[in-house]
Amino acid sequence: MTGKRTGNKYHAETSLPVQRSFINGDYLPSSSGQTFETRHPGNGRVICEIEEAGRKEVDAAVQAASKAFISWSRTPATERGDILRRAATLLRERNQELAELETLDTGKAIAETSAVDIITGAAVIEYFAGVAQSIHGQHIDLPPEAFAMVRREPLGVCAGIGAWNYPMQIAMWKSGPALACGNTMVFKPAEQTPLTALKLAEIYTEAGLPPGVFNVVQGAAATGSALVGHPDVAKVTLTGSVETGKIVMAEAARGLKKVTLELGGKSPIVVFNDAELENALNAALVGNFYSSGQVCSNGTRVFVEAGIHDEFVKELGRRTKAIRVGDPFDPETQLGPLVSKEHYEKVLRYLADARKSGARHICGGEPFSEGNLANGYYVTPAVFSDCRDDMTFVCDEVFGPLMSVLSFTSENEVIERANQTPFGLSGAVFTRDFSRAHRVANLMQAGIVWINDYNITPPEVPFGGYKQSGLGRENGLQAIEHYTQVKTIYANLGDVPKTY
């Protein structure tokens, strides 16, 4: 491992003391005695033990958040915004250190975590810090002697539950708007990647966030389930798989809680004959292999029009073979390991299935275990062409570096095939034809469609899924609607008529 460099706070051999839940402004020991471990995916080493939050700790966190809600919801929006802005500044100042910790926990290449994960989260917190002061209601005149006000009010305690692929960014994407609107939050990171959410809690505290406004509970499904089922939780926002989304929504329904779900995808990238090839290639590669393919909005079904298909596939193969797989702490590495042994084995099963499917194997898909990477969860990026729509690895969300290329011959055909999936998170169209770009974008069943680009998610832009890819939206002004509720206050200026 080349990870141990002078100046790095965290590296591949880092061991940390036992980590805990962060409740009411401080670390709280767990009474259950249960612990779990988190490992560095680059070498399989245990980084540390984490004390699991049982029902008692979940209850303590929700109670702290309920109590904090009373004053936080009445704190002037300018003050809420100031605190969030300070947090965004601290996050940017500590970008490198936080990126190293994220790389340690997730195995994602440091070139990515230091350029994207923390910075894009801080940008969202800063965006909602600015929006806080603009959250307002409505006045409705009801002449001759009445009017109504529509107040936009926070919901209360929001439960945030995160996935392991962008652990800190997800915690920021959820807490930024929730807190800006005056809610408090109890966040549960994924059990595979529990470390950076705690740093976010520390940074919020340092920025001046009162105790109890942002809490972190540690654990897996049981902890998440206790949180979702807690009677004092008003809203649940989950980022995770479709299966978990269904369970969480059903559990939340028992208390008729509001729900936002950011779930999986199997998104299409459609490349027409007239596309600017270099742009389409760059997008297909980044939209499949960034974060070792562990990105929900990845464009894992690449539809290429017959006229450019062979050239496109040849170039994809050449460029994919050149991707540098390796130690995620090496700044030159472009593709690090998968997040866990379990996930690595799942991706290998899909790769084996792809090889037997009849699709043409262009490159990659082998375990990668050179030298001291032997105990890590590495796999080389794979491209398969001549895929059919009904092949298992073309239908399922693999969440690994596996690109399927499919050929098409007409616009109508490709729209129909692109939409033939229960998912609907995102999609892209590459063409120089303005009208066709918009026709296709309008007809794609997806929450976000890029024209001549891929996986760009600025804070101002709503992000979320159609169909089974989710419910509700994160980012943009739409997010405010999911973290507030409206109250109508009707004011009578005259007399109440005598009816009886």
Look up 262 and say whether it is catalytic. yes
61 contacts ligand NAD (rule: CB under 6 A): no
Among 77, 119, 148, 247, binds ligand NAD (CB under 6 A): 247
Among 1, 158, 228, 405, binds ligand NAD (CB under 6 A): 228
Neighbours of 390 (CB within 10 A): 9
The answer to the question of residue 427 lying near ligand NAD (CB under 6 A) is no
In the region spanning residues 329 to 368, those forming contacts with ligand NAD, defined by CB under 6 A, are none
Of 52, 126, 305, 474, which one is the catalytic site residue?
474
In angstroms, rounded to a whole number, what is the distance separating the alpha carbons of residues 14 and 11? 5
Write down the least CB distance from residue 251 to ligand NAD, Å. 6
Residues 6+ apart with CB under 8 A from 4: 11, 12, 13, 329
Name residues whose C-beta falls within 8 Å of residue 278's C-beta, 6 or more positions apart in sequence.
Answer: none
Active-site choice (296, 363, 387, 397): 296
Residue 7: partners with Cβ closer than 8 Å, 6 or more residues away: none
Q: Which residue of 154, 264, 376, 424 would you call a contact of ligand NAD, by CB under 6 A?
A: 264
Binding-site member from 10, 22, 128, 164 for ligand NAD (CB under 6 A): 164
Beta strand 46-51 with 35-39 is antiparallel
Question: How distant, in Å, are the alpha carbons of 67, 449, 470 from that of 434?
Answer: 54, 14, 29
Give whichever of 221 and 491 is closer to ligand NAD, judged by the CB atom: 221
Q: What minimum distance in Å lies between the beta carbon of 283 and ligand NAD? A: 19
Q: Which residues lie below 8 Å from residue 498, measured CB to CB, with a gap of 6+?
A: none
Choose, from 262, 305, 397, 411, the residue flagged as catalytic. Answer: 262
Which CA distances in Å does 289 have to 108, 111, 258, 361?
11, 13, 34, 17
Residues 409, 415, 417: CA angle, nearest 5 degrees: 80
Using CA atoms, how far residue 269 sits from 288, 292, 366, 449, 472, in Å, is 10, 18, 24, 9, 23
Q: Is 241 in the site for ligand NAD (CB under 6 A)?
A: yes
Shortest Cβ 266–ligand NAD spacing (Å): 9
Q: Which is nearer to ligand NAD, 1 or 163 (CB)?
A: 163
Least distance to ligand NAD, CB of residue 60, Å: 18
**Amino acid letter, 353:** D
Compute the distance between CA of residue 55 and CA of residue 147 in angstroms, rounded to an integer.
46
| Exposure string over 277-314, b if 16+ CB within 10 A, otherwise e | eeebbebbbbbbbbbbbbbbbbbbbbbbbeebbeebbe
Give CA torsion, residues 281, 330, 264, 427, to 10 deg. Answer: -20
The yes or no reply on residue 327 touching ligand NAD (CB under 6 A) is: no
Give least dist CB 248 to ligand NAD, A.
5
Shortest distance, position 317 Cβ to ligand NAD, whole Å: 26
Check binding of 426 to ligand NAD (CB under 6 A).
no
Pairing, β 402-408 against β 258-262:
unpaired
Residue 186 binds ligand NAD, judged by CB under 6 A: no
Query: What is the pairing mode between strands 258-262 and 157-161?
Result: unpaired
Q: How far is the CB of 140 from ligand NAD (least distance, A)?
A: 36
Q: In this complex, which beta carbon is closest to ligand NAD, that of residue 245 or of residue 381? A: 245
Question: Can residue 475 be called a binding residue for ligand NAD (CB under 6 A)?
Answer: no
Contact status: 397 vs ligand NAD (CB under 6 A): yes
Using CB positions, name the residue nearest to ligand NAD: 224
Instruction: Decide if 174 is catalytic.
Output: yes
Regarding 220 and contact with ligand NAD (CB under 6 A), the answer is: yes
Instruction: Give 264 or 328: the residue with its C-beta nearer to ligand NAD.
Output: 264
**How far is Cα 51 from Cα 28, in angstroms, rounded to an integer?**
9
The catalytic residues are 174, 262, 296, 474
Residues that bind ligand NAD (CB under 6 A): 161-166, 188, 190-191, 220-221, 224-225, 228, 238-241, 244, 247-248, 262-265, 296, 397, 399, 425, 465, 470
